[in-house]
Copies of this chain bind each other. A is one copy, B any other.
Amino acid sequence: MRLSRYFLPVTKETPADAEVISHKLMLRAGLVRQTSAGIYAWLPLGFRVLRKIEQIVREEQDRAGAIEMLMPTIQSAELWRESGRYDAYGPEMLRIADRSDRDLLYGPTNEEVITSLFKDGAKSYRDLPRNLYHIQWKFRDERRPRFGVMRGREFLMKDAYSFDLDEAGGRISYNKMFVAYLRTFARMGLRAMPMQADTGPIGGDLSHEFIVLAPSGESEVFFHESWEQPRTAEDYAVDVEDSAALQAFVDSMTADYAATDEKRDEAREAEMGDALRESRGVEVGHIFFFGEKYSKAMGLKVSGPDGDMVTPLMGSYGIGVSRLVGAIIEASHDDDGIVWPESVAPYKIGLINMRADDETCTAAADDLYARLEAAGVEVLYDDRDERGGAKFATMDVIGLPWQLIVGPRGLEKGVVELKNRATGERVELAPELAIGKLSG
């Protein structure tokens, strides 16, 4: 993409209500703009990051055997009366009356809708187990929306719902999501720690939050230093179809201490001594097994192998897709701006033409752009007639992993400059070599 034809409103100033670094950087880098309190438009560059995160989430859900579908944003209040949550859910629920004065709401979550759809479609034990998910906008009318997309009112969430015939099956479904979550966050360059959690208004007795360290986090967290080791998705390789291996793996992942403020274990912390770490964290995922809670209230039953009717056991599994954009920036930035992990970067390379008024320089930059595009590499090409300093500042704040700089002095020597955004390392090399290195 040529910047001369793009829409990238970078800014220096940020409004006073942008308190946390991710919020400031998302505004400065032209990723989002607030359109109402706690409601954001995703500008082209931010939209690309959102889609990359969404795609990683999708791939790991699919890999775990979950099936994608899509539920609507507007739900009928009737269903929530069946489950008993319509009155219980507080003012965070956006309640709406349509032109015929029927009660609707903007879904904050989808247990009721999925239970009703599954009841309509599943008739026998052969239709289980299943895990159905969607990635859809939700609304929670926060009293104090803040931290940009980290605690917005309209937000994009992946929510999955599992249906099993018995407790053992439900545990397998839960464990599959547990592993999928570890892989998902690791692929985004995040260290997300699973912590035992209270189940709150969702109900049930088994639940983990996945928490990423961030100074803007809503919760205080305590963990063993072993969590500071970087991990990749390969560290979470386990055959999820082998339920014993799966359970052993989940047990090993919860063996290292990690707890929110409410769930601290003073005895274990005392044993740890110097290895105990303390920080603030932001929740990026939350998984629940709640058994019969919704299936029973809403009359979901299937015929069992012996002909008796069985009430399926359910779990639900959320990932805050739009919140992750903020969480990743909290975890990966420096004084100059965002430092995107390559897996979620909006473009891999920022190509800078230092002298758009110089024919030789422009011809060389155009040529590099055409060849990188032809190689299928995602390039944002700053072809505008602006000063080099402004171009560098823009590229630094938007945080693409590589900057490829084409200037007249380098070209005289037959080289271009390649800068690694994360390390700051710069090398001069022939254009051919740059293309080879960046197309890999």
Contact = CB atoms under 8 A, between A and B. Distances in A.
Given A7-B132, A36-B76, A121-B9, A41 B71 contact: yes
A79 B39 CA distance: 14
Contact of A41 (B5, B40, B117): B117
Contact of A9 (B113, B120, B134): B120
Contact of A137 (B4, B37, B73, B94): B73
Interface stretch (A98-106, A285-293, A329-337): A98-106
A69 B43 contact: yes
Contacts of A96: 94, 96, 106
Q: How large is the interface on A (under 10, 10 to 19, 20 to 34, 35 or more residues)?
A: 35 or more
A84 interface: no
Contact of A35 (B36, B76, B122, B154): B76
A65 to B, nearest CB: 7
Interface in A98-135: 98-99, 102, 104, 106, 113, 116-118, 120-122, 126-127, 130, 132, 134
Chain A at the B interface: mostly helix, strand, loop or mixed?
mixed
A203 to B, nearest CB: 22
**Most chain B beta carbons < 10 A, residue from A37, A70, A98, A139:** A70
A327 to B, nearest CB: 19
Contacts of A39: 72, 74-76
B75 A35 contact: yes
A412 to B, nearest CB: 29
Given A35-B76, A35-B113, A120-B33, A7 B69 contact: yes
Contact of A70 (B50, B71, B116): B50
A79 B33 CA distance: 15
A116 to B, nearest CB: 7
A227 interface: no
A268 interface: no
Interface of A: 1, 4-7, 9, 30, 33, 35-37, 39-44, 46-47, 50, 65, 67-76, 78-79, 91-92, 94, 96, 98-99, 102, 104, 106, 113, 116-118, 120-122, 126-127, 130, 132, 134, 137, 139, 141, 143, 153-154, 384
